[in-house]
Amino acid sequence: MNIMEMLQTAVSKGASDIFIISGCPASYKINDVIQPMNEEKLMPDNAKQMISRIFEIAGQRDFQSFLHKGDDDFSFSIPKLGRFRCNAYLQRNSCAAVLRILGFELPEPHTLHIPQAVMDLANKERGLVLITGPAGSGKTTTLACLIEQINQTRNSHIITIEDPIEFLHAHKQSIVSQREIDNDTRGYIPALRAALRQAPNVILIGEMRDYETISTAVTAAETGQLIFSTLHTLGASNAIDRIIDVFPQNQQYQIRVQLSMVLQAVVCQQLIPSVNGTLVPAFEILLVNSAIRHMIREAKTHQIDNAISANAAIGMLSMDNDLLRLHREGMISRENALTYCTNVELMNKKLST
């Protein structure tokens, strides 16, 4: 099977990922289950040839440079088929790659079961909104939905800084500038600093990876822009602690004060195996009010989980309550509700009532 046939088959089967790794058959991931395409194991030369062909299809990628560096991350489109994100790497001195299948169409929030309280965050005018969760939990997709909502309804300049660009946004009510690391800019920091001089209303930062990116993002939110970004954390309070812990001890009080002023919301999401073999999202939603701002400022983030549970009436949602809802609606099993919850003992009691 050549690479084009492989991509076409993966798209037609609704796969989310393709694995090209020597020593095992080329494989798809469908509904979080990895399945071999056939029985034939890939030899190192086969894998290298297939990945070299991917670099050719992508264009403007240097395969020899990849062989020297050992890693490359990029996205590419194939007309009438779809859009793909490729992470190529060396393992056991042979070429390997994992491709994420994106498609051309922007996702529809209602088909993805994204709560309205999350989509309402697109109405914010300024401040910082964080989308958090494990790798592969759909954070980028949720952000794409929020950016598209703004694009369709507001007259703004939206700047996205991504590594790589996954979803393409056409200019609608807004102007959308999409910048890709390495291709369009040297990194998040120079792109973010430049963005502040590009008359932005909304800035999307693909990932807040380090102290400098986080510091610049918080400063940008203070100047009046609406900033969206992601973190690889589970739970709203953990996301806040993660940001604060990045800073040196003597700066942590100052960042708590800044964060208490600019943070608007934290959304945490997971993808849960459903009873019918698909994946369904579960969400935690923290909407920052005066009480939450006080907890952040006074280093009382351990109280945030209780505050989320107590403020369901205004749109807040705890992860465990959303998992409980999914189980009661027959969408996920009891076992998965317990596996993905944050408080197993309390969830066990709720499931037993």
Mean pLDDT over 227-251 rounds to 95
- The predicted model scores a pTM of 0.90
pLDDT tens per residue, range 32-65: 899 999 999 999 999 999 999 999 999 888 999 9
Inform me whether the pLDDT recorded for 107 exceeds 90.
Answer: no
Q: What percentage of the chain reaches a pLDDT higher than 70?
A: 100
Q: Is the pLDDT of residue 333 over 90?
A: yes
Give the pLDDT band of residue 104 (cuts 50, 70, 90): confident
Phi and psi for 76 in degrees, rounded to 5? Answer: -155, 160
| Distant-in-sequence, close-in-space partners of 318: CB < 8 Å, separation ≥ 6 | 284, 305, 308, 309
Measure the CA–CA gap between 224 and 30, rounded to whole angstroms.
Answer: 42
Q: What is the pLDDT of residue 272?
A: 96
pLDDT computed for residue 353 by the predictor: 79
Residues 6+ apart with CB under 8 A from 70: 89, 90
Give residue 182's pLDDT. 87
- Per-residue pLDDT at 192: 94
- Under the banding of pLDDT at 50, 70 and 90, the label for residue 347 is very high
Supply the pLDDT for residue 145.
Answer: 97
Is pLDDT at 156 greater than 90 in this prediction? yes
Peptide bond into 134 cis (omega under 30): no
Please compute the mean of the pLDDT values over residues 100-129 and round it to a whole number.
93
Contact in structure between 176 and 149 (CB atoms under 8 Å): no
pLDDT at 1 over 80: no
Q: Check residue 311 and give its pLDDT.
A: 95
Average pLDDT over residues 239-266: 96
Output the furthest CA–CA distance in the chain (Å, rounded): 61
Interatomic CA distance for residues 313 and 201, integer angstroms:
30
Banded pLDDT at 209 (limits 50, 70, 90): confident
The closest alpha carbon to 268, from 346, 216, 322, belongs to 322
Q: Sheet with 17-21: list strands edge to edge.
A: 33-36, 27-30, 17-21, 94-101, 82-91, 71-78
- Triad 130, 137, 204: Cα angle to 5°: 35
Look at residue 198 and give its three-state secondary structure: coil
Question: Looking at the predicted structure, is the pLDDT value of residue 183 above 90?
Answer: no
Q: Is pLDDT above 80 for 229?
A: yes
Phi, psi of 327 (to 5 degrees): -70, -45
Residue type, 109: P
Could you tell me if 342 and 319 are in contact, meaning their C-beta atoms sit under 8 angstroms apart?
yes
pLDDT for res 60: 81
Alpha helix segments (H runs only) across the chain: 3-13, 44-58, 63-69, 116-119, 139-153, 188-195, 211-222, 236-246, 252-262, 290-297, 304-310, 319-328, 334-340, 344-352
pLDDT at 119: 97
> What is the reported pLDDT for 294?
97
pLDDT of residue 239 exceeding 90: yes
Q: 266-298, pLDDT tens digit by residue?
A: 999 999 999 998 999 999 999 999 999 999 999
Average pLDDT score over residue span 75-96: 94
Q: Are the C-beta atoms of residues 153 and 133 closer than 8 Å to each other?
A: no
Whether residue 237 contacts residue 302, with contact meaning beta carbons closer than 8 Å, is answered with: yes
